[in-house]
Structure 1
Amino acid sequence: MSLVAKFVSVGGATLASRLLGFVREMMVAAALGAGPVADAFYAAFRFPNLFRRLLAEGAFNSAFIPLFSRTLEGEGEAAARRFAEEVLAALALVLAALTAVVMVATPLIVALIAPGFRSDAGKFALTVELFRVMFPYLVCMSLTAMLSGVLNAHRRFFVAALAPTLLNVVTIAGIGYGIWRGLDGAAVGRILSWSVLVAGVAQLVMVAFAAHRIGFSVRPRVPRLTPAVRRLLVLMAPAALSGGIIQINLFIGQIIASTREGAIAVLQFADRIYQLPLGVIGIAIGVVLLPELSRTLKAGHLREATHTQNRALEFALFLTLPAATALVVVPEEIIRVLFERGAFTPETTEATARALRIFGLGLPAFVMIKVFTPGYFAREDTRTPMVFAGISAAVNVTLALILFPRLAEAGIATAEAVASWINCALLLLTLRRRSQFALDGMLLRRLPRLAATLALMAAVLFLGARVFSAPFRPEAGLATQAFALAVLVLGGAFFYFGAAQLTGAADFRSIARNLRRR
């Protein structure tokens, strides 16, 4: 399977998950709005979700996949299985200890991650309750991440990418049950939290079965600090910061936003929108690129590694930039159609759209970080991205504290976008300085053509939304609004792809050949 076909495979599975995530967020918005229960749920879920991104998907995969791939490539299946068993034993011990500590210290943790909740005893108590229910989700997801890493190293990407859909399917069922029974907001929040835990178990079972299907199963071992495990821990420590910088910045934003009623929920709804292109494109590229670069560099094919990273960057920009353009030009229309109903008011739409527009400006940087970071991780350099992530986090905290009192949620979004662009620039410039990456002629020729195409697309979206504004008004009804948004988005996409072909910003025949090539 070609590199582009792998991106499409993972991206397609991720797209299914993110679309279901939209359905879930629409139901949450209708049931809870941006009220205290929504704030409590998202604050409680952010902590295990942060650890999942940092330890399970971020740091763990960034360290485990290169080591596992190289062991598999150089020493064979038996050695790779032994390494995985050693890692599993150590991981299970760490997770058990972490969960025990967190369960006892939950009130203290909630006071730290949502200091603004301490003035509302009911909201604080609900957050603690939901937190304790959902934290074991991290255990399931960490084990899922290890087995997903095994599948990815064997170039089986689809099942691991599809597993997150179970989270959305189960939580949608939970919210639907709560709405059908007419339960109050707090009861719906509790059902949501238990649904998250059930979904974690389901995802673990799914990837374990997929690993068993390819003949890979691990036996339990006594935890030991073997040289291989020690090397994994050395690589994981800095990767925990660098691999999950976007989540760290979101987490910092949540802490600051907790002092304003509804701000956490507003940021979550905006985050859900821009996470769609980020997940479909950025995460798909990161998942595929890391094992591919690890294998290529292990074989000493340096020119092929540079070519692979250029094509990944070209693919990322071609799909990310039009999505970012739409988020910047028509965020109000998107938010109104997707969320403005029930407890989600027009004022909440305006606040969410302001944050979403700024997240759209940062989206290309969020995705390019996913392209450039594997260039370090595949060389087992996790320290350099850690340093850059630390700089990015410092910028984010400083700007968020300055801007939040003035711009509210938009200030948090601005801080995260600026911090991500700084991180992206540092990653790219350092790779170039080390002669480990350079933009090739094909990409340099297409970038100005792509910029011209995007300018035309932005004009089409802007004029379309202004000329045909009536169908987007609340009184038009949901069906009319949805149809108008679909026409606007599909029309913009059709214009973009057509203009890209005419200007030479993309070569669709080459893309089709890559999809067919094995």
Structure 2
Amino acid sequence: MSLLKKFATVGGATLGSRVFGFVREMLMASAVGTGPVADAFNAAFRFPNTFRRLFAEGAFNSAFVPLFAKEIDAGGMEGARRFSEEVFGVLFTVLLAITIVMELSMPLLVRTVIAPGFSDDPVKFDLTVRLATVMFPYLACMSLAAMMGGMLNSLHRYFAAAIAPVFLNFILIGVLALAWWKDYDALDVGLGLSWGVMAAGVVQLAIVWGAVRHAGMKIGFRRPRLTANVKRLLVLALPAAITGGITQVNLLINTAIASGAEGAVSSLVYADRIYQLPLGVIGIAVATVLLPELARALRGGAATEAANLQNRSVEFVLFLTLPAAAALLVMSEPIVRLLYERGNFHADSTVTVGAILGLYGLGLPAFVLIKAFIPGFFAREDTRTPMIFAGISVLVNVTLAITLFPKLSALGIATAEIVAGWVNAGLLFFTLVKRGHWGSDKPLLKRIPRLVLSAGLMAVALHYAIAFLGPQLASSAATAIKAATVAALVLAAMVIYFGLAFATGGADRSMLTRALKRGAKPKAEPVSE
């Protein structure tokens, strides 16, 4: 199977999850807007969700996958099963202890880590504690599911782990639909959503557990022991978890800072949901597929193939990310107005969330490139270097967020995230080049400026089209008219961008087919190292 097909498998499943995520956020925006319940729920949910992503996108999709793949090569499926049971026993025990401690410490955590700005509002503070207490066990379910997902990825079975997150959205949409039908007040909606998150964690764990068993890997529980394999995993997993989840670390810190302004937490979350669509579909798909492919190539001594895989992946993500970034920058407000502006989500909230989303567009290429660069380190079992760069990125983010928040509120936090993302991406890239792990690639160097030009011209065309179609995109326009206008703009932008990309040589058929095939030969896309 080609890399393109593998990217499409993971990306398509992630796209489905993100689309239903939009529906969820639209219903939630209508039900609770950017008010105190929305702030409390989003702050409470971000805490376990951050730790979940540290495991799912960090430790186990970065450290576990190469080690599990080695066990398959060395001891076959039986050896891999024993290794998985050793890891499962330790992971389950650690997660159980963390959950108990966190549940007992939740008031202190909310006051000092999750949302210190809520301390001056006893009602919002107590609600955040209550919701976070209900939702925190979601972490244990999703971390175990992340381990199962890493096993499936190593076995080249990507779909189940990619599709499982959609059930979180299914369940929460069901809760919101029930709340609308029963006419629940905002407080009851928040409580219902928190229990829905907990239920979704159990469902997602059951899905990937069943997929692993179907793949012939039946895992039993072993008494937790720090075997040599487990110690090696822990050495790799801690920095990998920090590195892979750096965006989430920044978001958690930013949530704590944003809790000092009314509505800022919810505004950032609503904007983040939209920007996560291209990041999730492109970035996570590429990172998920590229790591085991790079690990396989390097284990086989195929350094040229590994370089080709990296270059073709970066080429592919830029081809899709640059137009998405340009579109978010230019038409963020019409998108937010269409998706969210109804019920308790008002026009002033649209302006705020739209401005944040536009800023996120500037950072989108950086965050996607980070996910494409990091496998180049993890496949070589180097998790320390990306961790150091991640630490630098956090320092940049926190410094800028604290500096800009008093003047720009949520916009200052979004700016800090973007700058930190580009710093991290730059450090990763230049280190790969310096170590000789990134060969120069003439097709890539020729295509990047042409893709940037194509995206820029598309953005200019969108800008004038939006100005011309102002009445059809205004708050007073009917939802159907706004939806049709936005859809027409998106379709026109796609025609313009892809037409220009292929006309200028920024893209061609080989980039989408031969260059992305597993084991592509350098002669198809020459690589000079």
Q: Which amino acid aligns with 1:81?
A: R
Q: Compare 450-459 and 411-420 and name the one that shifted more.
A: 450-459
Q: Which residue in 2 is equivalent to 1:419?
A: 420
Give the superposition deviation at 1:56: 3.4
Is structure 2 residue 23 aligned with structure 1 residue 23? Answer: yes
Q: Which residue in 1 is equivalent to 2:505?
A: 504
How far apart in 1 are the matches of 2:111 and 2:509? 52
How far apart in 1 are the matches of 2:496 and 2:74? 48
Equivalent positions of 1:334-349 (< 5 A) are 334-349=335-350
Give the superposition deviation at 1:274: 0.6
Give the superposition deviation at 1:508: 3.0
| 8 Å Cα contact 1:73-1:295 kept in structure 2 | no
Cα deviation code 1:225-275 (max 9, x no counterpart): 000000011111111211111111111111110000000000000100110
Q: Which amino acid aligns with 2:296?
A: R
Equivalent positions of 1:434-445 (< 5 A) are 434-445=435-446
Q: Which residue in 2 is equivalent to 1:453?
A: 454
| 8 Å Cα contact 1:5-1:514 kept in structure 2 | no
Per the alignment, in what secondary structure is the counterpart of residue 50 of structure 2?
Answer: helix
| 8 Å Cα contact 1:42-1:265 kept in structure 2 | yes
Cα deviation code 1:32-89 (max 9, x no counterpart): 0000000000000001001001123312321101110121123311111110000000
Per the alignment, in what secondary structure is the counterpart of residue 76 of structure 1?
Answer: helix
How far apart in 1 are the matches of 2:254 and 2:411? 11
Per the alignment, in what secondary structure is the counterpart of residue 415 of structure 2?
Answer: helix
Q: Which residue in 1 is equivalent to 2:183?
A: 182
Q: Which runs of 4+ in 1 moved over 2 A?
A: 512-518
* Residue ranges of structure 1 left out of the alignment (5+ in a row): none
Q: Which residue in 2 is equivalent to 1:386?
A: 387
Q: Which residue in 1 is equivalent to 2:289?
A: 288
Is structure 2 residue 270 aligned with structure 1 residue 308? Answer: no
| 8 Å Cα contact 1:57-1:142 kept in structure 2 | no
How far apart in 2 are the matches of 1:239 and 1:220? 25
Q: Which residue in 2 is equivalent to 1:462?
A: 463
How far apart in 2 are the matches of 1:517 and 1:49? 33
Identity of aligned residues (%): 55
Give the superposition deviation at 1:477: 1.0
Q: Compare 21-30 and 469-478 and name the one that shifted more.
A: 469-478
Cα deviation code 1:427-484 (max 9, x no counterpart): 0000100001134111111112112211210111111101111111111111111111
Q: Which residue in 2 is equivalent to 1:492?
A: 493
- Structure 1 residues 302 and 37: CA distance shift in structure 2, 3 A: same
Q: Which residue in 1 is equivalent to 2:274?
A: 273
Q: Which residue in 1 is equivalent to 2:525?
A: none
How far apart in 1 are the matches of 2:418 and 2:452? 20
Q: Which residue in 2 is equivalent to 1:320?
A: 321
Give the superposition deviation at 1:514: 6.6
Q: Which amino acid aligns with 1:51?
A: F
Q: Which amino acid aligns with 2:261?
A: R
Say what the alpha-carbon RMSD is for the aligned residues: 1.2
Q: Which residue in 1 is equivalent to 2:82?
A: 82
| 8 Å Cα contact 1:70-1:294 kept in structure 2 | no
Cα deviation code 1:187-209 (max 9, x no counterpart): 00011011111111111111111
How far apart in 2 are the matches of 1:286 and 1:143? 20
Q: Which amino acid aligns with 1:317?
A: L
| 8 Å Cα contact 2:312-2:511 kept in structure 1 | no
Cα deviation code 1:271-307 (max 9, x no counterpart): 0011000000000001001111111111111111110
Give the superposition deviation at 1:512: 4.4
Q: Which residue in 2 is equivalent to 1:251?
A: 252
TM-score norm. by structure 2 comes to 0.96
Q: Compare 439-448 and 317-326 and name the one that shifted more.
A: 439-448
Q: Which amino acid aligns with 1:17?
A: S
Give the superposition deviation at 1:318: 0.4
TM-score norm. by structure 1 comes to 0.98
Give the superposition deviation at 1:515: 7.8
How far apart in 2 are the matches of 1:516 and 1:391? 35
| 8 Å Cα contact 2:55-2:146 kept in structure 1 | no
How far apart in 2 are the matches of 1:140 and 1:57? 15
How far apart in 1 are the matches of 2:239 and 2:17? 29
How far apart in 1 are the matches of 2:366 and 2:397? 14
Is structure 2 residue 154 aligned with structure 1 residue 153? Answer: yes
Q: Which amino acid aligns with 2:196?
A: S
Is structure 2 residue 63 aligned with structure 1 residue 63? Answer: yes
How far apart in 1 are the matches of 2:439 and 2:41? 44
Q: Which residue in 1 is equivalent to 2:263?
A: 262
Per the alignment, in what secondary structure is the counterpart of residue 188 of structure 2?
Answer: helix
Q: Which residue in 2 is equivalent to 1:364?
A: 365
Cα deviation code 1:354-376 (max 9, x no counterpart): 11111110000000000001111
Equivalent positions of 1:87-106 (< 5 A) are 87-106=87-106
| 8 Å Cα contact 1:70-1:295 kept in structure 2 | no
Q: How many residues align?
A: 518
Per the alignment, in what secondary structure is the counterpart of residue 344 of structure 1?
Answer: coil
Q: Which residue in 1 is equivalent to 2:225?
A: 224
How far apart in 2 are the matches of 1:516 and 1:432? 24
| 8 Å Cα contact 1:332-1:349 kept in structure 2 | yes
Is structure 2 residue 35 aligned with structure 1 residue 39? Answer: no
Per the alignment, in what secondary structure is the counterpart of residue 476 of structure 2?
Answer: helix
Cα deviation code 1:64-117 (max 9, x no counterpart): 011101211233111111100000000010001001101100000111220111
Give the superposition deviation at 1:499: 1.4
Q: Which amino acid aligns with 2:175?
A: G
Per the alignment, in what secondary structure is the counterpart of residue 330 of structure 1?
Answer: helix
| 8 Å Cα contact 1:150-1:211 kept in structure 2 | yes
| 8 Å Cα contact 2:22-2:273 kept in structure 1 | yes
How far apart in 2 are the matches of 1:24 and 1:491? 27
Give the superposition deviation at 1:341: 0.9
How far apart in 1 are the matches of 2:160 and 2:498? 29
How far apart in 2 are the matches of 1:304 and 1:85? 33
Q: Which amino acid aligns with 2:396?
A: V
Q: Which amino acid aligns with 1:323?
A: A
How far apart in 2 are the matches of 1:214 and 1:251? 36
Q: Which amino acid aligns with 1:36?
A: P
Q: Which amino acid aligns with 1:130?
A: L
Give the superposition deviation at 1:516: 8.6
Give the superposition deviation at 1:498: 1.4
| 8 Å Cα contact 1:290-1:377 kept in structure 2 | yes
How far apart in 2 are the matches of 1:515 and 1:159? 23
- Structure 1 residues 441 and 163: CA distance shift in structure 2, 3 A: same
Cα deviation code 1:167-192 (max 9, x no counterpart): 11111101111111100001000110
